[in-house]
Amino acid sequence: MLDKNSGTPLHAQLADLLRTEIHNGELSPSTQLPSERELCGQHGVSRITVRKALGELQHEGLIYTTVGKGTYVADPHLDEELQPLSSFTQDIERRGMTASSKLLEAVVINADDTLAARLEIPKGAEVVRLHRLRLADDLPIAIQLTHLPHHLCPNLVEHDLSAGSLFSILRTAYGLRLVRADTTIGAALARPGEARLLQISMPAAVLISEQTTYLETGAVIELTRSIFRADRYKLHTRC
């Protein structure tokens, strides 16, 4: 029960109550929480109080909201230690989950000034652009936009890019040796299109990684920008 005479704000009390129920297993992963209206009635508080409490729990990654469906208890975070040359597929399967992709776009374009500089190829050279939604056990986890020099992986778009690992295709189908990757990490608020694909309610934080992968020759083989659900995925580096 919430103590309205306590010096602790009601939203903090409600968040503590729900947090304890989650940690104790009374609210298990994937359990749908009562609606805001139901929580208001159960605890005798306003909708603003309920929203503040849920906002705290969502910020902590304990719950997540699916647009049009409701709010659910989150599974434990998918912790990802940044390991160069470890693909998304490998990362997910290492955790006992099934990785899959929804291919949003696979085209060959001509490099503009920015892409040419970053891929270290001539302006106008052909570049493969892949836009994919990455899933773990059918739950959207990340949006990835990848660019690769077409001359290093000709006809890549003809491969099945909705299953398996792109790195695996590059290694087995093209005999490429990927030896190094540089990654940077940032955070931002999801844009409307990103929130729709990731099935999160706005405003919502996302994690952004930018990765440049190199071959043994020193050539750049791929640039990938990944946008991760911050409520389901956590990135950290190895010291």
Q: Coil, strand or helix: which one is 215? A: strand
Neighbours of 223 (CB within 10 A): 18
pLDDT at res. 209: 87
- Phi and psi at 22, nearest 5°, equal -70, -50
Element at 166 (helix H, strand E): helix 166-174
* Torsion angle, alpha carbons of 105, 106, 111, 112, to 10: 0
Q: What is the per-residue pLDDT for 180?
A: 86
Task: Find all residues with CB under 8 Å of 57, minimum gap 6, and list them.
Answer: 15, 18, 19, 22, 63
Cβ 230 vs Cβ 206: under 8 Å: yes
Segment 101-105 long-range contacts (CB within 8 Å, at least 24 positions apart)? 101/132, 101/133, 101/134, 101/135, 101/161, 101/162, 101/163, 102/132, 102/133, 102/135, 102/162, 103/130, 103/131, 103/132, 103/161, 103/162, 104/131, 104/132, 104/133, 105/129, 105/130, 105/131
At residue 81 the predicted structure's pLDDT band, cuts being 50, 70 and 90, is very low
**pLDDT at residue 94 above 90?**
no
Query: Which of 24-28, 29-33, 50-54: highest mean pLDDT?
Result: 50-54
Mean per-residue pLDDT, 14-33: 85
Domains of the chain: 10-73 (1.10.10.10), 78-236 (3.40.1410.10)
The predicted structure's pLDDT at residue 80: 46
Strands 233-236 and 78-81: parallel
Beta strand spans in 98-232 (E): 99-110, 126-136, 139-149, 178-189, 205-215, 220-229
Region 146-158 average pLDDT: 95
The rounded mean pLDDT for the chain is 84
Q: What's the whole-number mean pLDDT along residues 50-69?
A: 80
Tokens 């405003």 map to which residue? 203
pLDDT value at 206 more than 60: yes
- The pLDDT of residue 194: 93
pLDDT in tens, 159-195: 988 776 888 889 889 999 888 888 888 888 889 999 9
**DSSP label at 190?**
P
Task: Report d(CA 198, CA 220) in Å as an integer.
Answer: 29
Q: How confident is the model at residue 77 (pLDDT cuts 50, 70, 90)?
A: low
The token pair that represents 162 in the structure block = 């909705």
pLDDT band at 238 (very low <50, low <70, confident <90, very high): very low
pLDDT at 167 (0 to 100): 86
